[in-house]
Amino acid sequence: MGTIPDSALGESSDGAAARPVYKRILLKISGEALMGRQSYGIDEPVVAEIADEIREVYRLGVQISIVIGGGNIIRGLAASHRGIDRVTGDYMGMLATVINSLALQDALEKRGVQTRVQTAIDIREVAEPFIRRRAIRHLDKNRVVIFGAGTGNPYFTTDSAAALRANEVHADVLLKATNVDGIYTADPKLNPDAELLSEVTYQQMLEQNLRVMDAAAISLCRDNELPIVLFNLGERGNIRRVVCGETIGSKVRF
């Protein structure tokens, strides 16, 4: 995909030049991350902090695409457990991801970062429809592209949407920003002896049922040899560290 000009490179915390190891990324952010300490909705200061971190990576010359979940507003599966039809609930969840996408777009553009939202459901009054070649063109023009409304189909998670879009735009890596430090052998909240795995294979993820991404997303990345890095979004600067090749979180590989 070409080299990054020196003029686009920023500096690390110790003053040394920070050189990204990825040219084009797909960043997956959970909807819950936008809640902050709230129990529901969007915490604007948290969105602003996330936008600041994305801007830092943007200034390195990295091409950035993003998928955001909608769990801070509604989850289709959870809604179905409360009596809403599963398909209807999933479409409601897709619309929630569009709300989150627009919130992040607003925060990024206030920071001088050109951003486009593309949706898998046609909502032309607020966003572009997803067109793969147009999305790639935006990335080539150094615009951040946020993909909303998942895959546009019920029964698919935003993890699957992230894996799909990452492959469609030929991203170098899928970065999943979570609320834990990476992939553990067990739930660290329930098992204090759980170990953090710095590297794990796709097959191990599937065979050991490590529930950090759904099986469809993992299989799609495995079949197309797309690496995945899972890391803690809660620690300031982690997106930049991962993009610049620091060993943060867990990497999924062959």
Is the pLDDT at 125 greater than 80? The verdict is yes
CA distances from 33 to 167, 176, 208 (A): 24, 12, 26
Measured distance between the N- and C-terminal CA atoms of the chain, rounded to whole angstroms? 23
pTM: 0.91
Residue 63 Ramachandran class (φ > 0 left, ψ -120 to 50 alpha, else beta): beta
For residue 62, what pLDDT is reported?
98
> How many Cα neighbours within 13 Å face the side chain of 155?
1
Right CATH for 17-253 from 1.10.260.40, 1.10.3330.10, 3.40.710.10, 3.40.1160.10: 3.40.1160.10
CA distance 78 to 107: 29
Tell me the per-residue pLDDT of 75-104, one tens digit each, with 9 for 90 and over. 877 777 788 999 999 999 999 999 999 999
The first and second tokens of residue 153, run together, are: 């189909």
Binned at pLDDT 50, 70 and 90, residue 17 comes out as low
What 3-state DSSP class applies to 243? Answer: helix
pLDDT exceeds 90 at position 18: no
Rg, the chain, Cα only: 17
Residue 6 has pLDDT above 80, yes or no: no
**Which is nearest to 66 in space by CA: 25, 103, 98?**
25
CA atoms within 13 A on the CB side of 10: 19
